Amino acid sequence: MYNGVMKRIIFEIFLIVVILALAGAGLWSINRSFNATLAPLKQVNADLSTQVSQLLHPTPTIIADPVTIIHDVQSLARLETIQYSVEKVITAETGGGAFAWLTQDKLLLIAHGTVIAGVDMAKMETGDMWLVGEVLHVRLPAAEIFVATLDNSKTQVYDRETSIFRTADPNLETLARQAAEDEIRKAAIDDGILEVAQQNAESYLTRFFAALGYTRVVFEK
């Protein structure tokens, strides 16, 4: 009798283990099937999110006209002797005054630019160089600004505020950029870029003439 009871208990334990195993396998299968069912939905949701993001934040498309028109070609003999890198903050606004909070359009431009100066050797004439004994006399053209332009990769609108009763002016940023170029040029001139460009040109040409055998060079004004 004792053996029969033990066998029955063992059988019941075995039966419980089998039932639990089958239940676990069933749950795993259901979970797997559920995930497989949701996978396409998750993919659709991800694709939809991507499309919404592209709609709200579209990537600009730049299309260049295949036709190129060259208006002018000039030969140059410019001796560039110095380059400045300048940063300038420009504020541009329209509709200010007592009711600015209603009618103002304002932007803040952080401008980065380059100014290059030197001497245009094409402006020299035959009478601007003469030899007196062993001394070479040279009259150089006055130094000038060759390039004063913005670096578009670094120049950006930092902030813009448009009042509720004001439409954003499409030309405001263009005007700010034009003003930035003028200010960058002016800042370089005020800092003495033309004087340094003239000195650098004389130093370079002194070494150049020395290589040609003219060891004594005087630059005339």
Give the pLDDT score at 95: 66
Cα separation, 175 vs 211, in Å, equals 48
In the predicted structure, residue 185 carries a pLDDT above the cut 90: yes
In the predicted structure, residue 82 carries a pLDDT above the cut 70: yes
User: Considering only 7-21, 129-143, 170-184, which range has the smallest mean pLDDT?
Assistant: 7-21
- On the 0-12 / 13-18 / 19+ scale of CB atoms within 10 A, 136 is buried
Give the pLDDT score at 146: 96
Question: Helix (H, G, I), strand (E, B), or coil: what is residue 47?
Answer: helix
What is the separation, in whole angstroms, between the first and last Cα of the chain?
Answer: 132
